[in-house]
Structure 1
């Protein structure tokens, strides 16, 4: 039994981020599936782990952590090598800013609007709302343009080696790239395309692909 128990299902972008961080750090963990799509996050048992009924939650040392940013901070503090948080203040501030942007804006548009309609609703045999998709596309394009600014001249979102925010964005981008609209937008942003090619070649990305999507995109 590992010292770490991760609660959440593989289809969650945030759960996948934490799984990637464990792999990058070389730290073993156990995973207990908790499926958002089946409503399992709102069971009394899970609400004791995460009072807002979300995933992931991480149990370790008699305590339970929730929210991906906090879990990432915990892992970085206890397992500082390889470093996934920049040591330079300006770079660390850039990373924090990107994390906030991804959590507060990118996730809602790319997952909550585009991918949910184009990928998740068909999976659940629900109708696709093309109006929601059409309204999301200008926002997605704008968000790609913001990514292109740093990625036009460097490999990762923050200066220096790969960092936490690359692993935060990667699972979100994976869903975007399952959509024809996302692939069409990507073609206009070569820096983002290079970043995508680099991140998806990492072992941590390949090993955390949800089983149901292994033949997609």
Structure 2
């Protein structure tokens, strides 16, 4: 276990972006204090949280008096602090391998996230908030998402085990938290693509991902 780093994480256990950070904290065995920010109650917009995150979102990492927001930036920070502990999420010894991780990670912000988030909002977030699903918006988000999933299916059909380098990396972590929700709410988006489905099963069988799921289950339910 990494020595006490005096780390605090502000987030919400069901938040996909928070789960990315939890993965690294668990994988690298970094002790941390978790401070729940209930977005259903708009706690992320309170002045004390705006002081941590100027855009009023989660998660935020506090370490040595510094605040870092944006989940991928937090993950990169923790990976750089402890490169030899647990999974090395971004390779630094080979420029090409680093670029492969970056290309699959960065493209997800444009080709994947906006559309999968639309699916998640309609099928997972709205029900928790007591709001009805807008079937037209769900259908539109699915239609925008599926071409990207088809690209992923072709990528894995060509023999890739993970998104980059045939090793689990930040690129996989950037995707799996969202697919984990899709698997529960719109499973056909995955099952219709057998090679993508194999990638998903490969990732969720990792001990570090199972540790994330166990941590989530141990947290109080937020309403």
TM-score by length of 2: 0.87
Count of aligned pairs: 210
Map 1:173-188; keep pairs closer than 5 Å.
Answer: 173-179=179-185, 182-188=186-192
Whether 1:128 aligns to 2:133 is yes
Contact map agreement 1:2 1:30 (CA 8 A) in 2: no
Q: Which residue of 2 aligns with 1:110?
A: 116
**Structure 1 unaligned spans of 5+:** 213-217
User: What is the match of residue 98 of structure 2?
Assistant: 92
* Consecutive unaligned residues in structure 2, runs of 5 or more: 219-223
8 Å CA contact retained: 1:109, 1:136: yes
Whether the 8 Å contact between 1:10 and 1:208 is mirrored in structure 2 is no
Matches within 5 A, 1:54-203: 54-81=57-84, 82-87=87-92, 88-111=94-117, 113-152=118-157, 153-179=159-185, 182-203=186-207
2:20–2:177: 8 Å Cα contact kept in structure 1?
A: yes
> TM-score if structure 1 supplies the norm length?
0.89
Q: CA RMSD in A?
A: 1.9
Rounded to whole Å, the distance in 2 between the matches of 1:56 and 1:70 is: 11
- Residue-by-residue CA offset, 1:181-211 (whole Å, 9 max, x unaligned): x311212212211111011112232232343
1:10 aligns to what? 13
Please state if 1:46 is matched with 2:49: yes
> Is the Cα–Cα contact under 8 Å of residues 21 and 167 in structure 1 kept in the other structure?
no
C-alpha spacing 1:205/1:132, structure 2 compared with 1 (3 Å) = same
